[in-house]
Amino acid sequence: MIYRQKLNLQSVANSKNFQTLETTTQNIVLALLQNRSVFTMAIDAQTAELKEIFQKGAVAATLRHEDVKSTLFATVEDLSKLQSYEHGITRQEIAQRAACDAANLRAHMDKRTDEIRGLIEATGKAKGVKKRMQLAERANAAIASLAAMDLIRDSLMVCLTAHTKETMLKPVGNSCQDKSKSC
């Protein structure tokens, strides 16, 4: 019986119609003629196809990974440069504002100094203990206010000095002298 089936298969393989069969069917007939299992051949074919698909996918994934990685590195580098640039601009703006504030504070301190001189002179000319005490209290308050302004100005100058050393720029104190610019 096995020989008879083999002969039938051999006659199919030798016939003219064998060439019209699709490739998978031809492979099955040939495998049966060689006493191989049809399933083994199908599994081998599918395994080979899957291996090829996997290898193509692995190559594509590796290429995509490298592409994404390089894009991310470029993006991070660009953002870092942008942040550094913006940080520098912000520091310059802060330094300019501090310079303006220091100049304005200096003007207020000069006015306060003039006020203190006036209060001291008025205290010396005042008649009566009560009036002298009031003027002395106002002078003391003005002196305390002047001392606080001086501390604030010193802090601003330290910030300006640190910024100037860091960026090698000259302080922007003259920008407040210009009446067209508001500080």
Whether the CA torsion 53, 54, 59, 62 is positive or negative: it is positive
Whether the CA torsion 167, 169, 174, 180 is positive or negative: it is negative
pLDDT in tens, 123-177: 888 889 999 899 999 999 999 999 999 998 888 888 777 766 665 444 444 444 4
**Helix, strand or coil for residue 172?**
coil
**Residue 178 predicted with pLDDT over 60:** no
Contact 173, 103 (CB under 8 A): yes
Show the CA angle centred on residue 86, arms to residues 81 and 89, nearest 5°.
130
Percent of residues, the chain, with pLDDT higher than 70: 69
> Which amino acid belongs to residue 93?
E
pLDDT of residue 76: 94
pLDDT of residue 13: 67
Domain ranges of the chain: 2-59, 97-176
